[in-house]
Amino acid sequence: MGYERITVRPLAGALGAEIGGVALTRALGDNRTWSEIHQAFLDHLVIVFRDQDLSPADLMAVGQRFGEPSHYPFVHGIDGYPFIFEIVKSAEERKNFGNAWHSDTTYLPRPPLATLLYAKETPSHGGDTLFANQYLAYETLSEGMRHLLDRLAGVNSAALKRGGGRANRHDDIAGMRVHNTADAEAYEAIHPVARTHPETGRKALYLNRSHTIRFEGMTEEESLPLIDWLADHAVQPEFTCRVAWRPGTLAIWDNRCVQHYAINDYHGQRRVMQRLTVGPEVPR
Q: What is the CATH number of the domain that holds 90?
A: 3.60.130.10
Is 233 designated active site?
no
What's the total number of domains in the chain?
Answer: 1
- pLDDT (0 to 100) of residue 75: 92
Residue 198 covered by a domain? yes
pLDDT tens string, the chain, 284 residues long: the values are 689 999 999 999 999 999 999 999 999 999 999 999 999 999 999 999 999 999 999 999 999 999 999 999 999 999 999 999 999 999 999 999 999 999 999 999 999 999 999 999 999 999 999 999 999 999 999 999 999 999 999 999 999 877 666 655 555 555 666 766 767 888 999 999 999 999 999 999 999 999 999 999 999 999 999 999 999 999 999 999 999 999 999 999 999 999 999 999 999 999 999 999 999 999 99
- Given a contact cutoff of 8 angstroms between Cβ atoms, the answer to whether 63 and 69 are in contact is yes
Is 270 designated active site?
no
Q: Name the nearest CA neighbour of 131 among 249, 14, 245.
A: 14
Question: Which is catalytic among the residues 65, 104, 211, 254?
Answer: 104
Q: Name the nearest CA neighbour of 194 among 231, 236, 225, 152.
A: 152
Residue 154 covered by a domain? yes
Residue 2 covered by a domain? no
CA distance 32 to 101: 34
Question: Which is catalytic among the residues 166, 169, 256, 260?
Answer: 260
Question: Which is catalytic among the residues 44, 65, 102, 214?
Answer: 102
- 206 alpha-carbon distance from chain centroid: 12
Q: Name the nearest CA neighbour of 256 among 275, 277, 231.
A: 277
Residue 72 covered by a domain? yes
CA distance 250 to 52: 7
Produce one character per residue of 93-131: b if its CB has 16 or more CB atoms within 10 Å, e if not: beebbbbbbbbbbbbbeebbbbbbbbbbebbeebbbbbb
From residue 100, give the alpha-carbon distance in Å to each of 50, 129, 259: 25, 11, 10
pTM of the shown model: 0.95
- pLDDT (0 to 100) of residue 250: 98
Is 104 designated active site?
yes
Over residues 215-266, the pLDDT tens digits come to: 999 999 999 999 999 999 999 999 999 999 999 999 999 999 999 999 999 9
Domain span holding position 51: 7-280
- Given a contact cutoff of 8 angstroms between Cβ atoms, the answer to whether 52 and 24 are in contact is yes
Residue 1 covered by a domain? no
CA distance 257 to 255: 5
- pLDDT (0 to 100) of residue 162: 79
